[in-house]
Amino acid sequence: MSGSNSKPFTVLVEGNIGSGKTTFLEHFQQFEDITLLTEPVEEWRNLRGWNLLDLMYKDPVKWAMPFQSYVTMTMLDMHRRPTATPVKLMERSLFSARYCFVEHMMRNGTLHPAQFAVLDEWFRFIHREIPIDVDLIVYLKTTPLVVHERIKKRARSEEQCVPLSYIEELHKLHEDWLVNRTFAECPAPVLMIDADLDLSQITEEYKKSEHQILRRAV
């Protein structure tokens, strides 16, 4: 296929840290109709040689603001990236950055109210001025204890000190945003997937979402 598709069917993959978003995207590598945009974690780990993710975990009061501000930029880049395929599958979004991570950092005081206000104004400005198309959200729902174990096992160096309480709070924010709909706007219908299952069983679960994502009989 050639050229760029200005209005692909756009799917966001959301869920707690360690919920298997990358594995979910990898499952869809087999389909040629899809462009996969994995989260730019590597860019966050190496901005001109600086590991912003590590700085943020080591000294959140100082680094949460620049980290989230860079996340906003890299996410906007992904939302705007043209694709040559009819379907675009994105890992995370501007929405989870704002409604889960920034929200949490504001509520627990990591972000000064003035820092929060700047990030929130950026979010509102982008939302108002730039079309961000979303057609479906895949929510990989997990239990905090399960993902906490996975995070410890995968041993990403920056995440070694992530406490269970942080994972629980992020879980609540995802639930409030995507299931309970209590505080934030949900930009598209939500398809919920049980992502507690381990790797040997999860493929069957992923398969259930194929027809909704590809919008054809598979």
- Which positions lie near ligand DCP, rule CB under 6 A? 15, 17-22, 39, 41, 53, 71, 92, 97, 101, 159
Indicate the angle between helix axes 113-129 and 60-80, nearest 10 degrees: 0
Q: What distance in Å separates the CA atoms of residue 125 and residue 197, rounded to the nearest whole number?
A: 39
Nearest residue (CB) to ligand DCP, 73 versus 84:
73
Task: Give yes or no: 169 in active site.
Answer: no
Torsion over CA: 42, 44, 48, 50 (sign): negative
Q: What distance in Å separates the CA atoms of residue 201 and residue 195, rounded to the nearest whole number?
A: 10
Q: How far apart are the first and last CA of the chain?
A: 20
Q: What distance in Å separates the CA atoms of residue 83 and residue 98, rounded to the nearest whole number?
A: 25
Residue 121 backbone zone (phi > 0: left; psi -120 to 50: alpha; other: beta): alpha
Contact indicator for 101, 169 with CB cutoff of 8 Å: no
Listed in sequence order, the residues at least 6 apart from 76 whose beta carbon sits closer than 8 Å to its beta carbon are 94, 126, 130
CB of 88 to ligand DCP, least distance (A): 18
Contact indicator for 185, 4 with CB cutoff of 8 Å: no
Catalytic residue among 91, 121, 129, 175: 91
CB of 109 to ligand DCP, least distance (A): 16
Catalytic machinery residues: 91
